[in-house]
Amino acid sequence: MFVNKSTLSSMARYETYSAWLLAAPALILLSLFLIIPFLMSVGLAFTDQRLISPLPTEFVGLRNFIRLFSDKVFFKSIGNNFVFVLIVVPVQTTLALLLAILVDRTRRFSNFFRMIYFMPVVVPMIVVSVIWYFMYNPSIGLINKALGTISFGMLGNSLWLQSERAALPAIMILSIWQGVGFQMVIYLAGLQDVPQSLYEAATVDGASPLKTFWSITLPHLRNTTIFIIVSTTILAFQLFTQVKVITNGGPNDATSTAVLYIYNQGFKSLKVGYAAAASVLFIIIVLAVSLIQRRYLHSNREVG
């Protein structure tokens, strides 16, 4: 059937307009809640804007950024973010994969275990944080009581949230427990796409379960793993709620994070311009990490 060029051109324009129309709601929301606020932050970063002040706002140039580079608390907060990401992301991803494999191979009560592991994800983080705050209580907390019972009194006196060395790991344990179910469900979906014929062939060839995992399961979960690593990294950099509720950045800024620091500067110290400069610098750091991660994962996927 012959179709003239004008008809093809009209169809192409119709598809283009339809695509823009469908994308419009998402683009509008993206602009309102991400692009425009970021541009406003960039503008405020060069001013001495305060949340409440009778004085007019003045342009201060790079003064806020110069102060940031000499602010030890800010860089300590950034460092805590990186430590959190470097530990939580691989541990949570590995646990999620192991749980997904165990649940996938469980014939009985499979739906029950999925519900149990996913339940912490649907509970609001503020509720989870309050529960774990009481669990970490040094005198009546469930964790110390359990450790004392298991060790016959040798353990169980830990000051989890009062110790500079233990506070951040305590936040990590909480975060891994709360979020591992989400990654597990994604891995379960990925496992459904692995052809069963490959497992049957591996069984016929006499391959061990470990060999089957490395040769069949893991390669087919490559794209799923990349998605989980990237999404978990983004969530890890957004660490705020559990720190704010449980430790408020203490003790001695041992659990302070970049988002908490920006919040304190903007809403407690009322230094909106300074907080905007910190947020812009933090976004640049996270963007650089994301680009490096994306390039590494992309090149690794091509090699694989």
pLDDT tens digits, residue range 6-51? 665 777 777 888 888 888 999 999 899 888 988 999 999 999 888 8
The model's pTM is: 0.87
Q: Residue 59 forms beta bridges with which residues? A: 47
Q: Read off the pLDDT of each residue in 297-304 and give the average, rounded to a whole number.
A: 57
- CB atoms inside a 10 Å sphere around CB 243: 25
Give tens-digit pLDDT for 163-214: 899 999 999 999 999 999 999 999 998 888 888 888 778 888 777 878 888 8
**At which residue do the structure tokens 């970490």 appear?**
136
Map out the domains of the chain as residue ranges: 72-303
Mean of the per-residue pLDDT values of the chain: 87
The hierarchical CATH code for the domain 72-303 is 1.10.3720.10
Residue 55 burial (CB count, 10 A): 7
Q: pLDDT tens digits, residue range 205-258? A: 777 878 888 888 888 888 888 889 888 988 899 999 999 999 999 889 999 999
Q: How far apart are CA 232 and CA 225, in angstroms?
A: 10
Cβ–Cβ < 8 Å for 185, 118: yes
178 to 123, 167, 206, 242: CA distances (angstroms): 8, 17, 38, 11
- For residues 143 and 132, give the distance between their C-alpha atoms in angstroms, rounded to a whole number: 9
Nearest 5 degrees, angle CA 120-CA 123-CA 127?
110
CB atoms within 10 A of CB 94: 12
More confident site: 154 or 237? 237
pLDDT of amino acid 304: 47
| Sign of the CA dihedral with 272 first, then 278, 280, and 286 last | negative
